[in-house]
Amino acid sequence: MNKNSKILVAIFHKDGIHNENFTELNSIFREFDLYIPTVEFYGNKWKDTKAFFINNDYDSLFLICSDVKVVCGNIKSRIAYYANDKQLGTYGFGTLNKFTFIWQQYNSFELIRNVPFVEGYCFGVNKTLLVQLEWDDIYGYGLDVEMGYKSYINGMKCVIDSTVCVWHDGGKSYDDTVATSEYIDFLIKYPAIKHYLNQNGIFHPLSNESKKETYISINQSI
């Protein structure tokens, strides 16, 4: 593990449920400082984790939900590598999920590629970007796109790294209808982010119907 940056790994689990995969993730990341927020809902866990991160002067955060499985690759070395990349805003890893696989192949078949945003169930973000994030809702819709947008406007990188691959069986731990409603409110509140999605041809709840061919699964889990 790289000693140059102070790294925090946060594991988000649903309502205190410690399943077999949660135990496996604890084992994988035991070399890092671990933070496991105990409050309910993704949004509350995020606010709790963000405050802990800032108050303890960490340099880089890696967040993973407890229903995400690490399939292949050296995830620990990649987390350490990106923690010391001063040009990086946020990063995520490759996934075999149906919709996100389509997204990750968008415009490029390279293992490490620039993307408009990464998925909110498994990502890293460095301090310079994290302290600028304003997102605030319950279920998680919108945090990922704000990170991508603010990476873009700050001239920072937003990348998917498929040298590591994960699996996420999402959309099972919240009411998708309520989550989508909150995401719409988020896009109305931040029209610049909606414009950013439109510029990149990304379908969202306020898109016109013609852009559905580039739809990305943005399901988040807690």
Q: Give, for all 222 residues of the chain, the pLDDT tens digit.
A: 445 799 999 999 876 566 788 999 999 999 999 999 999 889 999 999 999 999 999 999 999 999 899 999 999 999 999 999 999 999 999 887 644 444 444 555 678 889 999 988 999 999 999 999 998 877 778 899 999 999 999 999 999 998 999 988 765 555 667 778 888 888 998 999 999 999 988 888 888 643 433 434 433 332
In angstroms, the first-to-last Cα distance of the chain is 27
Phi, psi of 100 (to 5 degrees): -70, -25
Instruction: Look at residue 220 and tell me if it is in a domain.
Output: no
| CB-based contact 15:23 (threshold 8 Å) | no
**Domain holding 186: CATH number?**
3.90.550.40
Residues 6+ apart with CB under 8 A from 154: 89, 128, 129, 132
Instruction: Look at residue 123 and tell me if it is in a domain.
Output: yes
Residue 37, exposed/middle/buried by CB under 10 A (0-12, 13-18, 19+)?
Answer: buried
Instruction: Look at residue 221 and tell me if it is in a domain.
Output: no
Instruction: Look at residue 219 and tell me if it is in a domain.
Output: no
Residue with tokens 């414009």: 195
Alpha helices for 29-138 (secondary structure H): 42-55, 75-83, 98-104, 127-130
Q: How many domains does the chain have?
A: 1
Instruction: Look at residue 1 and tell me if it is in a domain.
Output: no
78/41 Cα distance (integer angstroms): 28
Instruction: Look up residue 30 and give its amino acid.
Output: R
Instruction: Look at residue 102 and tell me if it is in a domain.
Output: yes
CA dist list (Å): 107 to 4, 174, 214: 34, 31, 11
Specify the 3-state DSSP secondary structure of 148.
Answer: helix
DSSP letters, 172-203, are: SSS-HHHHHHHHHHHHHH-HHHHHHHHHTT--
Instruction: Look at residue 27 and tell me if it is in a domain.
Output: yes
CA dist list (Å): 178 to 101, 146, 159: 25, 19, 29
pTM: 0.85
Domain range for 24 is 7-214
